[in-house]
Structure 1
Amino acid sequence: MNMWFSSLFLVAGLFLSCSAQTVEECRPLITPLPTFEPSYGKWIFIMGWIDSEPFKVLFRSAKSQWIHFRETPGQPKELVEDIGISPTYCKYGSSPVTLHMNTAITDKTNFSCTYHSLPTCEGCLLYTVNSRNNNNLLPIMNITNPTTIHEVKGYRAFYLMARENHVKHYELVRTMKTAKCLGFTGEPDFLYDPENSDFSQEREGVRGQSELSTK
């Protein structure tokens, strides 16, 4: 196993055993940045948590995930393209995003997501996500259990992304402390393994396009 990937599990163990953060310690970690600034280019998912069991399964099945922020011609900001890599195939999707002060909002037919950006290291992105989904997703995911339906209709998530496929050890620890302050417990639901291949080049030029506008 990759040495860096192994260290993530060591940090995860530290995260599980560390004491709860105080309100004073948590405040600077979880206070959103005053503006949500576009950060163009490719960002690799390093780790993340999600509080919905059905989406945890999907999240954990991905060996590699990345997101591409791209400026839209004629627009002052960007479009967003998500690409998730499962164990056997690549999944691609794009979403329009609207920026309003310190919030980014994705609103599509099947779901809406609200994003806030938190303090993190240079070359990193740290997002909280609140998602609301409608009933259209239930038959697609073959879900009938009432408890599971509730977890599909709404969930919270927390992601660390970076330009490179690794971050400093202290930033991993800081991110895990932030996760705990936000109420996410246990090991991350996703940990990036640098040994997994990057399928992004295989889809060069085959991208969904959607605009991001500002209010």
Structure 2
Amino acid sequence: MNLQFSSCFLFLGLFLSVSTLTPEECQPLVTPLSLEDPSMLHGMTHFITGYTDSAVYNELLNASDSYWMNITASPSSDKTLVCHQEHKLNGICYGMTVSFTIDGNVVTVNVGNMSAEYHVLPGCDGCVVLSGNSTVKDLNQYFGYMNYESSIKTDNMVNARVFYLMAKERTVKDSDLEKFKQQASCLGFSGEPDFDFDPKTDLCKEGEGSNMVLN
């Protein structure tokens, strides 16, 4: 077999490996997990990679260096979780503490002018895969807290679909990343992720920067 034909077969193999899955193949990848036991979300995880369909969110992801969150049980209810997150944006750390509510198999967040709903999808061991929709009604207030100014003009309200891979470790296996990209394709996202975490990046320590508590 000559080099030209070998190259053609190699290209074909690469194409097939990332080709779109059928609806039947997608179903087990995007069926939400049960949240009957919310402790599956407990602990600290790092933001490894993710997609969004929002230009504003995409710009924010491009300016992000790192992000981690730590989820614990709330003393008030077994259907409520407390999430503390640390976000390094353009080299500066910003902390935030919010409450999550479990409603069936949906994680809901309603704080101030921000609301979001997330499903937890199948993922690798030690990973949390989140598929969600979020709405921010006063984006300038949110950006003002982080001293961030977007170059994208909006009507001050943004709706976005997001798909995030969180993990307890700073890295995941290549095979797990490929599965995540397959899931993203099943959900309608295409191309390379909008955020990829560099594991060499220093993380924010809890309390290192300003902190906002939202209830």
TM range (shorter): 0.7 to 0.9
Correspondence for 1:191 among 196, 204, 207: 196
Q: CA deviation at 1:188?
A: 0.6
Per the alignment, do residues 81 and 201 of structure 1 end up closer, same or farther by CA in structure 2, a change over 3 Å counting? closer
How far apart in 2 are the matches of 1:86 and 1:208?
Answer: 15
Alignment of 1:44-193 (within 5 A): 44-76=46-78, 77-134=80-137, 136-138=138-140, 145=153, 148-149=154-155, 152-193=157-198
Q: CA deviation at 1:69?
A: 0.4
- Identical columns (%): 32
Question: Which residue identity lines up with residue 84 of structure 1 in the other structure?
Answer: H
Instruction: Determine the structure 2 residue equivalent to 1:6.
Output: none
Return 136-145 or 26-35, whichever deviates more.
136-145
Return 175-184 or 29-38, whichever deviates more.
29-38
Correspondence for 2:44 among 36, 42, 45: 42
User: 8 Å contact 1:80–1:210 — kept in the other structure?
Assistant: no
How far apart in 1 are the matches of 2:58 and 2:150?
Answer: 16
Report the count of equivalent residues. 193
Instruction: Determine the structure 2 residue equivalent to 1:25.
Output: 25
Relative to the length of structure 1, the TM-score reads 0.79
**Greater RCO, 1 or 2 (C-alpha within 8 Å, sep 6+):** 1
Relative to the length of structure 2, the TM-score reads 0.79
What RMSD, in angstroms, separates the aligned Cα atoms of the two structures?
2.7
Segments of structure 1 that go 5 or more residues without pairing to the other structure are: 1-13
Q: CA deviation at 1:202?
A: 5.6
Question: Which residue identity lines up with residue 19 of structure 1 in the other structure?
Answer: S
How far apart in 1 are the matches of 2:125 and 2:179?
Answer: 13
Q: Counterpart of 2:176 in 1: which secondary structure?
A: helix
How far apart in 1 are the matches of 2:26 and 2:168?
Answer: 25
Instruction: Determine the structure 2 residue equivalent to 1:11.
Output: none
Instruction: Determine the structure 1 residue equivalent to 2:3.
Output: none
Per-residue CA deviations over 1:58-79 (Å, capped at 9, x if unaligned) read 1111111111102233432420
How far apart in 2 are the matches of 1:26 and 1:51?
Answer: 20
How far apart in 1 are the matches of 2:65 and 2:77?
Answer: 33
